[in-house]
């Protein structure tokens, strides 16, 4: 057994202590997700929102009907969430006393169900044991000589086949993508120029059409088509300039002046992305004689290290999230390579869209 010298310098000791804290921070990082799931499952953001003002611990546990023996536990969970920025601890006057109370932050406001920009469905999806169990299989997956995804290793089937046979998880998936689309709509308000000159657009794998609805309402002259699997768009009703079409993007895509791919390509490996892009190119180039384009909303990992560390971390975490089904987030060079192999690299540009998402326009 290797010996460990007791004669270490003060600097070495500081490094050991710092290393221990860093290790423990990541070792216990699963509490971040589990406390967040607890908070959303208990509807705490909605409870505080409905209360109309910051809420004391006494009022919160009373509303939750928490047994007296568990009040301390709620306090400790809320303290942790407040430390992580989900709640603010403020002082309020109540019964002629100053008391501590929990207030919503700009983060927890995104977890209020029924609000315009609610991301609680993303919590439902990503922290559902069906999906999170995939990441318990990374060791087995990395040594598997086959081409199975971590999800397939855990569940015995790929994610798309699983979703088609499990309505509950399919609803989680559709609700999560719809909630993310609400945020995209906020960003598109300042990018209306990308739709100028277009008469038609196809939202490929557009789900229930959250983004397409916004586009069709904002640009009533624009014909919008939501294109997704038949079981996804079944029974969905359109409007005078919004329609739903069922099909398979690997077979063919409806013709239009532009094709929109919102957070789609990150779900697929390079070979499948090239197939999708070629189908998009066919749909645009054959729609009419004028120039069309493919609009991609996705993540671009910063290979020049210009992003803030928190943004880079979010992008890298999302890259690991899609590894469960063989997807990937791509750097600028990886996007360029993809466009070249799909033969649509002649004219494109990448612009920032949201904090971590980019807008890519490929002109055909």
Question: Do the beta carbons of residue 212 and residue 195 sit within 8 Å?
Answer: no
Measure CA 228 to chain center.
19
Residue 197 burial (CB count, 10 A): 12
**Helices first, then strands: H and E counts in the chain:** 16, 11
215 token code pair: 């586009």
In 247-317, beta strands by DSSP E? 258-262, 293-298, 300-301
- Give dist(CA 291, CA 202) in Å, integer: 15
- Give dist(CA 207, CA 309) in Å, integer: 32
Question: Do the beta carbons of residue 297 and residue 262 sit within 8 Å?
Answer: yes
Residue 42 burial (CB count, 10 A): 16
Task: Report in angstroms the alpha-carbon separations of 67 from 48, 62, 71.
Answer: 19, 9, 7
16 token code pair: 């050991």
Active site residues: 266
Please say whether the dihedral angle defined by the alpha carbons of residues 303, 308, 314 and 317, taken in this order, is positive or negative: positive
Residue 325 makes CB contacts below 8 A (sequence gap 6+) with: 149, 150, 151, 158, 159, 160, 267
Closest CA to 326 of 250, 267, 249: 267
Helix (H) or strand (E) holding 101: strand 97-104
Angle CA(228)–CA(299)–CA(154) in degrees, nearest 5? 65
Q: What are phi and psi of 300, to 5 degrees?
A: -120, 110
């Amino acid at each position: 057994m290797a010996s460990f010298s007791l004669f270490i310098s003060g600097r070495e000791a500081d490094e050991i202590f710092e290393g221990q804290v860093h290790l423990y921070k990541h070792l216990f990082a699963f509490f971040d997700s589990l406390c967040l799931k607890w908070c959303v499952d208990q509807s705490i953001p909605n409870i505080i929102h409905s209360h109309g003002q910051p809420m004391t611990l006494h009022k919160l546990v009373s509303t939750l009907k928490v047994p007296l023996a568990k009040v301390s536990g709620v306090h400790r969970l809320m303290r942790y969430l407040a430390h992580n920025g989900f709640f603010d601890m403020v002082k309020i006057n109540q019964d002629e006393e100053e008391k501590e109370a929990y207030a919503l932050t700009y983060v927890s406001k995104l977890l209020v169900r029924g609000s315009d920009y609610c991301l609680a469905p993303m919590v439902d999806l990503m922290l559902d044991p069906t999906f999170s169990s995939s990441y318990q299989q990374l060791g087995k997956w990395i040594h598997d000589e086959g081409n199975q995804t971590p999800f397939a290793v855990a569940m015995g089937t790929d994610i798309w086949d699983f979703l088609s046979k499990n309505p509950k998880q399919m609803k989680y998936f559709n609700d999560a993508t719809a909630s993310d689309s609400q945020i995209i709509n906020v960003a598109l308000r300042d990018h209306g120029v990308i739709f100028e000159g277009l008469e038609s657009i196809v939202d490929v794998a557009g789900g229930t059409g959250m983004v397409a609805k916004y586009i069709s309402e904002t640009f009533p002259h624009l014909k919008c088509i939501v294109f997704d699997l038949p079981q996804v768009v079944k029974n969905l009703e359109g409007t005078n300039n919004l329609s739903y079409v069922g099909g398979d993007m690997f077979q063919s895509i409806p013709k239009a002046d532009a094709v929109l791919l919102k957070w789609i390509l990150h779900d697929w490996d390079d070979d499948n992305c090239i197939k999708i892009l070629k189908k998009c190119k066919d749909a645009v180039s054959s729609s009419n004689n004028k120039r069309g384009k493919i609009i991609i909303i996705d993540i671009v990992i910063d290979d020049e290290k210009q992003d803030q560390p928190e943004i880079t971390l979010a992008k890298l975490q999302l890259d690991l999230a899609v590894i469960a089904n063989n997807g990937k987030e791509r750097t600028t060079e990886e996007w360029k390579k993809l466009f070249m192999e799909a033969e649509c690299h002649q004219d494109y540009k990448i612009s920032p869209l949201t904090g971590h998402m980019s807008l890519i326009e490929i002109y055909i």
